[in-house]
Each structure stands twice: as C-alpha cells, then as structure tokens.
Amino acid sequence: MADRRAGSSGKTRSCPHCRATILESAAVCPACQHHLRFEARGRTAPQPAGQVALKVSGQISRGTAAGPGEYSVVVVIRDARGTEIARKVIGVGGLAPGEERSVDLTVEIFDT
C-alpha cells in the first residue's frame, strides 16, 4: 500500500460533500470536515501533519472614524521559479466601523 500511495502523491479529487478540491489521500475533508473513508485499524481521525511549514494569524479591523470598508482574502501558490500555480479568493466581506475579523493560514505537509 505504501508504494501505491507514493505514486499518487499530490493527486487531487473533489470532496463529495462540498466539492472542494482536496488531496486524494485525505480521509477527512479539510474544508467541510466530513469523513470520506475510514482509515486502516479503525481510525477515523485525520492523518496528523508530518510538518507544519507555515502558520500565520492576523486580525483586520476598521476604526470607528474610518467608516465602512471591504476586504478580500486571497491565497497565491507559486513554484520555486515564481510561476503562479494557483490563486484562490478564500473570502470577501464588509466591515462596519468598529468590526474585526481574524484570519488563520496554515500550510501542512503530510507524509505519504
């Protein structure tokens, strides 16, 4: 089984619940958290990340004197040469004066 998994490293599929593009090896969808298959030995918990390569947390707010505003959360993935591989708008919205939003970004690497 390890040989089959190594050959499919990085392959993707659609989650049957939310249609997000996820790794073929995922037992739990990282977007909607639905279980996709049961792991060997009866485990249903997601495979823990082998490494957390990046974790960023931030907060955006709108001052009361600034008036209303808008925001876009965009993630861009580039290869080593700087070529854009993917660009996704994760969310957009408005902020009333005095409102806040927090954003967490985590990049996990899984062993195949």
Q: Do 10 and 33 sit in the same domain of this protein?
A: yes
Structure confidence at residue 48 as a pLDDT band (50, 70, 90):
low
Single-letter amino acid code for the residue at 68: P
**Residue with the larger pLDDT of the pair 40 and 26:** 26
Q: Does pLDDT of 6 surpass 50?
A: no
pLDDT tens per residue across span 60-97: 999 888 889 999 999 999 999 999 999 999 999 999 99
If one counts the domains in the chain, the total is 2
**Residue with the larger pLDDT of the pair 6 and 66:** 66
> What integer pLDDT is reported at residue 10 of this predicted model?
81
Q: Do 103 and 65 sit in the same domain of this protein?
A: yes
> What integer pLDDT is reported at residue 1 of this predicted model?
39
**What is each CA distance from 48 to 6, 44, 72, 90, 112, in whole angstroms?**
17, 12, 30, 23, 11
Q: What is the percent of the chain with per-residue pLDDT over 90, rounded to a whole number? A: 46
pLDDT mean over 100-106:
94
In which domain, by residue range, is 35 found? Answer: 1-47
pTM above 0.85, yes or no: no
Q: Do 20 and 68 sit in the same domain of this protein?
A: no
Written as one string, the DSSP assignment of 13-30 is EE-TTT--EEETT-SB-T
Low-confidence winner among 29-43, 45-59, 93-107 (lowest mean pLDDT):
29-43
Q: Do 23 and 67 sit in the same domain of this protein?
A: no
- Whole-number average pLDDT of the chain: 83
| Rounded CA separation 8/24 (Å) | 8
